[in-house]
Each structure stands twice: as C-alpha cells, then as structure tokens.
Amino acid sequence: MPSRHNRFRFRRRGKHKTLICEPGKCITLDQLPEGCRATVIQNNNLITIERGLYLGAPITMLRNNDDEPNVIIAVGDARYALDRRIARTIKVRIT
C-alpha cells in the first residue's frame, strides 16, 4: 500500500484523479505524478544527463499536467522545465 505521504491529487482535463506513487514501480518520467520522488534508471539524452539526470539521480516531480507540453522537475537543487517528449524517453523508478 502506498503511504499517505505518497498520495497526490491533481487536476486532469477538468476531472479530479488520484494518482498514486507506488514505490518500486518503473515508469517513464512523464507518467510520474506530482510530488513523487524517483530515481533515473534509463536515459540516453545527453543534454538532460549533462543537466544532472544521470543514472541513479534522485528527482522529484513538481508539476505534471497532462494538458501542458512540459513537466517541471527538481534534480538535486536545480529546477527544470522539461519537454514531455524528452520526459517520455527517460525511465524512472519510484522511490
């Protein structure tokens, strides 16, 4: 069961949906719900690796609205707006 801390609600196409962070689950970065923490497990995009999304990097999803073309993530102490198309190519494991 996910902990209470890992439950986040966010708006999606006008409907309230509850997305749950399931620790250990492997998903693409664009699927990571807001507030969830994860670790990068696969990334071949050099630009994002250079910005700190290397294998094993801990990240937090700060903003992920389906109707927006970008997501906002926290990588270490930096904050990035990242294209959803790139986020789709990065695999993460929820922690």
Q: Is there binding between residue 64 and other proteins (CB under 8 A)?
A: no
DSSP string computed for 7-57: EEEEEETTEEEEEE--TT-EEEGGGPPTT-EEEEEE---HHHHHTT--TT-
Q: Is there binding between residue 36 and other proteins (CB under 8 A)?
A: no
Of 1 and 47, which has the nearer Cβ to other proteins?
Answer: 47
For residue 20, report the phi and psi dihedrals to the nearest 5 degrees. Answer: -115, 135
Min CB(39)–other proteins separation in Å: 13
Site for other proteins, rule CB under 8 A: 11, 43-52, 54-55, 57, 62-63, 65, 68-70, 72, 74-83, 85-86
